[in-house]
Amino acid sequence: MGYVFPNELEINWGLFIVLYPYLTGLVAGAFIVSSLYHVFRISSLKPVSRLALIAALAVLLVAPMTLISHLGQPLRALNMLWTPSPTSAMAGFGYIYSFYLIIVLLEIWFMYRKDLVKFAAIKDGWTGKFYNLLTLGAKDVSEKALHIDHKVVGILAIIGIPSAAFLHGYVGFIFGAIKANPWWSTPLMPVIFLLSAIVSGIALLIVIFEVTCWIRRVKIDFECMMAMNKYLWVFLILAFVLEILEIIFIGYEGKEEWPAIKGLIFEVIPVTFFGVQIAGMVLAFFLLLASRKKNISQFAARIMTFVSGGAILLSVLAMRFNVVIGGQLVSKSLVGYTKFHIPIWEEGIIPTLIFLVLPFVLMTIMVKLLPPWLDEEPLAAVTVKRRRDFQAARGIEGEGAAEEIPTLWGRAASTLVFGKIFKEVE
């Protein structure tokens, strides 16, 4: 279609590179929802705060797989860590990702530490040993220790908010900094990517929250659902306005690349741009607004919110496709477009679907190990029972006659990693 240069006949960044910013966006958005509760004390989001972290970790583990799979030599992925370049935006991914992964893992550990101690006490066999290993020997569940856990979670959430913004904002920075591509080169690109990430993350949690409640046959916390509805609506407005302003700004400038971009939108990718990306956001906007009407039943409001979440997930995925693939379709000649054929295998439809499903598989496993909807119940009875079992096994009588001593590795981990935060259970 038109004139393209010989080196533009092949699309270098395929569906795997489309998935990468999409998955990292889900991570950032889900983490920010959790932080709204832990940092800003929005109590209505408490029922989904743990689930948000589990979802963020599951997606976070899959996100780099798309990049590694895209490489012709996957083992070379570590080269950017061994030979870092401070002037390369791409080289920064390894450090940003590693730092953010540590933050998420630590926050989940501190949040679930009480439950890990409980499971280690009541589970038998290898399951109990596994949970005992996860406690790292820190088994103090006193009120003071749990208060410290809560404070540490808040601190980690504060650190994690800018980390999440960096994790996804830098992806938009990479695209926006490529001056040779008129569809990408805009200072709004990092902000658009970040806002759409928050929108997609909230939408993901809405869908997961409703589905898990339905599977467990429990009543959905309507206040929590409508709180996510509200924040999704607000961030959706911001994301939609910026995406439209970007197009208007490029057209208003009227530079020589505008006819090529206009042709791309209206002739090459009209289905994914108008039919999925824009239509999905508009549909979600009106459904979210209608679901907050006073004369709407709770069931109808939940259905409309759920459909809005699904529509936004598809819309943001189409947005990533239009940016990554669409930007490569415009020829440097500005008078032609490259054709993109989606393969079935290699970097095609089948492996892409696998990468989309894999986070939910991991999430299912994590939810089994660390249920995010546990009741806040005291562990004193569990601790006393374990101590008595410990004493009975050794023929010792009397309350407090023996101590449960953590493993050497657990004690060392508690001392070296967490200092004097935790004490041994007496």
Q: What are phi and psi of 337, to 5 degrees?
A: -135, 140
Residue 210 lies in a domain: no
Q: Are 320 and 23 in contact (CB under 8 A)?
A: no
pLDDT single digits (tens) 63-78: 888 888 888 777 777 7
Does one domain contain both 313 and 375? no
Integer CA distances (angstroms), 70 to 66, 101, 109, 168, in order = 6, 21, 32, 19
Residue 393 lies in a domain: no
Does one domain contain both 135 and 236? no
Does one domain contain both 36 and 107? yes
Does one domain contain both 294 and 334? yes
Does one domain contain both 30 and 171? yes
pLDDT at res. 352: 92
Does one domain contain both 292 and 361? no
Instruction: Give the lowest-confidence range in 29-43, 81-95, 300-314, 385-399.
Output: 385-399
CA–CA distance, 306 with 207 (Å, rounded to integer): 6
Q: Which domain holds residue 275?
A: 221-340
Does one domain contain both 120 and 147? yes
The domain tally of the chain equals: 2
Does one domain contain both 40 and 81? yes
CA–CA distance, 184 with 301 (Å, rounded to integer): 37
Does one domain contain both 97 and 133? yes
* Structure tokens, 288: 């979210």
Name the band, by pLDDT with cuts 50, 70 and 90, for residue 337: confident
Residue 183 lies in a domain: no
Does one domain contain both 152 and 291? no
* Element at 290 (helix H, strand E): helix 279-290
Which residue, of 340, 360, 375, is where some domain finishes? Answer: 340
Q: pTM for this structure?
A: 0.82
Does one domain contain both 16 and 156? yes
Residue 189 lies in a domain: no
* Structure tokens, 76: 């070379």
Instruction: Give the lowest-confidence range in 97-101, 173-177, 320-324, 389-393.
Output: 389-393
Query: How much is the average pLDDT of 352-372?
Result: 92
Residue 6 lies in a domain: no
* Structure tokens, 201: 């993350």
pLDDT single digits (tens) 206-218: 999 999 999 988 8
DSSP string computed for 130-196: HHHHHTTT----SHHHHHHHHHHHHHHHHHHHHHHHHHHHHHHHHHHT-TT-TTT--TTHHHHHHHH
pLDDT at res. 169: 78
Residue 392 lies in a domain: no
Residue 305 lies in a domain: yes
pLDDT at res. 374: 58
Residue 350 lies in a domain: yes
Does one domain contain both 318 and 360? no
Name the band, by pLDDT with cuts 50, 70 and 90, for residue 183: confident
